[in-house]
Chains A and B, each alone.
Chain A
Amino acid sequence: MPMKRKIDWAIYAAFVVLVMLLPLVMDAFWLNRVAKYLVYGMLGVAVALSWGYAGILNLGQGLFFGAGAYMLAMSLKLASTTSLQQGSDKPVPDFMLWNAEPGAPTELCCINKASFLWLPFQSQWFGVAMGLILPVLLATILGTIVFRKRISGVFVSIITLALVLLVRLVVIDSQPVTNGFNGLTDLGWFNVAGLEFDPYIVPTYYLVAVSLSLVLVGTRLLIDTRSGLILQAVRDDQNRARYLGFDVPAYQTFFFAVSAAIAGFAGMLYVIVSEFASPTFMDLTFSITMVVWAAVGGRASILGACIGAILINTISATVSETEGFAEAWKAIIGLIFVLVVLYLPRGLAGLAHDFIDRLLARKPTASPQALPVSETSSQLAE
């Protein structure tokens, strides 16, 4: 394995170890917070895969995140002991009860016209499965149409953007099944073989941390495959790839769907650590924020985008606790984004890569005097 690859994997390993050690130094409150940021980091991975590697700037990644979140939240709502109608053997979510027509049967099957859709979600694992299947299905349908028609660039971005707004409206409008604007709150805990994932306990943190690590390594391995390389070729020049014989839309659709699956997975984890699902997940600002994280961290780096997301959110949280600085922070984030796009197109990861390249290049002449001062300073000035 070439030196650079080794260093790359070493950095991945260091990141995973660091994430795994955090519970030693953090209290439950902060662990829960960091768990959320790790979920955002996973969204960074999803954006980097589709934007950096497939060349598809998805401005509606929130759609897949929201889809994953709602699917699991429906199951967890039905697992909540406090929000269900008491005294019936077939529990019904509270909001359905409050809005039920007079005389409607208080059964999940038929309390309103669409409530039967909730029936299979009585199984938590159905919710989990749907949290992956729905985003993948949506992405595959969308991708097949868009990429077969050879729509690319900014038009794909506009379509994804329009779609997330459309779905957000539909979710808000479907009050009887989604609780509309208020979203799904007062959820039960995710439960695996009796272990309840209270958001403020260490095992929940590890659920997120291990998930993120697996997604990171898995995605990295995926782009190391031949398909991952061909995907980058498609990003650089679709036509060239086509005339080498590759089924271009199949590559775009597949990786678009993988990116959607990661976002859906992140959505589910977010529901577990934050105990709600809301249409704000499909706000335009949220989808665009994800793009900013990836841009700052480095869209062409899976780990870079992930760290970008975690870093920005950690700084945001620290800063916005300082009185009067919260609003200014939003402006600062915007400014950072503009600066990164202009001067640091490969983001923080690009900086890190250049730094490693320099270290490697310097290695053969590793003696301290090897570089004259003027050269060092000119390198710094570059």
Chain B
Amino acid sequence: MAQSALTIDGLSVDFEGFKAVNGVTMTVDDGELRVLLGANGAGKTTLMDLISGKTKSTDGRVYLHDTDITNWEEHKIARAGIGRKFQIPSVFKELTVRRNLEVASCKKPGVFANLRFGFGTDAERNVDEVLELIGLTEEQDRIAAYLSHGQTQWLELGLLITQNPKIILLDEPTAGMTQAETHKTSEIVNNLKGRHTIIVVEHDMAFVREIAERITVLHLGQVLAEGNVEQIENNPKVREAYLGSKGIS
């Protein structure tokens, strides 16, 4: 069996009595791509918040390989090797595309360690490669604020790729995208497969079919089912949970 990259053990959070995530246990293998499915409000984003330190859990533990990272400060979790893309795309709006990636290429967290000029040829080459991968080479000198919605999403993906974390958390990377854009995004994500362990939240089933290996379905803060695309689509419990909400399509 492959070594597990991320182990979540009985993770819960209690928002004044409301358990948005309730005893979630799951293991994600090294290099795996895991899709998180679930209706609106199922707790997918909250689960990512708990893993990345945005929200502090009230119970349970999170391990990155063998390190217990439960409730660490966000930037320390990030340094330990977990990168995250937000549901609302966020990039550094007043900087150029290239500058955005250069920020992400700084490996040291502290202010004094970064009191130096330039990024080094290796880092610049890496930035070039990432620009190529996310298809923004032509746009590299544009201010990020002027990018289209899709391009902004790709730039944020680019930030993550440059940061090069062990685990990448993607929260609805294709939200608001056209079909063509969605397809390009799945290409980017497929390209990352194997190099990183990836957890993706996604509603778009076409996208899920393009990328997914294993799927975990969340419902009301709990794990409802786990399996490959076929198993999940044919799972009666999943069908039932989805009926009356968005419907799995």
Contacts and interface: CB of A to CB of B under 8 A. Distances in A.
Interface of A: 222, 224-227, 229-230, 232-233, 235-237, 239-248, 250-251, 254
A225 B114 contact: yes
Contacts of A240: 86, 90-92, 156, 159
B103 A243 contact: no
Contact of A229 (B78, B84, B103): B103
Contacts of A246: 75, 106, 109
B150 interface: no
A247 B77 CA distance: 11
A225 B115 contact: yes
Interface of B: 52, 74-76, 78-79, 83-84, 86, 90-95, 99-100, 102-104, 106, 109-112, 114-119, 156, 159, 163
A227 B116 CA distance: 8
B139 to A, nearest CB: 17
A244 B117 contact: no
A236 B115 contact: no
B95 A226 contact: no
A226 B74 contact: no
B114 A245 contact: no
Contact of A247 (B75, B90, B99, B119): B75
Given A229-B102, A236-B95, A237-B91, A248 B75 contact: yes
A240 B144 CA distance: 14
Interface SS of chain A: helix
A245 B90 contact: no
Contact of B75 (A229, A235, A245): A245
Nearest to A251: B111
A348 to B, nearest CB: 19
B147 to A, nearest CB: 13
8 contacts: A225-B116, A229-B103, A236-B93, A239-B90, A242-B78, A243-B78, A244-B103, A247-B75
Contacts of B114: 225-227, 230
Contacts of A251: 111
B93 A245 contact: no
B52 to A, nearest CB: 6
Contacts of A239: 86, 90
Given A227-B115, A229-B102, A247 B94 contact: no
Contacts of A235: 94
A36 to B, nearest CB: 32
A324 B94 CA distance: 44
Given A245-B78, A245-B109, A248-B75, A229 B94 contact: no
Given A227-B114, A229-B99, A250-B110, A244 B119 contact: no
B109 A237 contact: no
Given A243-B52, A243-B78, A250 B111 contact: yes
A204 to B, nearest CB: 32
B109 A243 contact: no
Contacts of B95: 229, 232-233, 236
A332 B75 CA distance: 47
Contact of B116 (A226, A232, A237, A247): A226
A244 to B, nearest CB: 5
Contact of B93 (A222, A225, A237, A248): A237
A357 to B, nearest CB: 12
Nearest to A231: B111
Contacts of A244: 78, 83, 103-104, 159, 163
Contacts of B83: 243-244
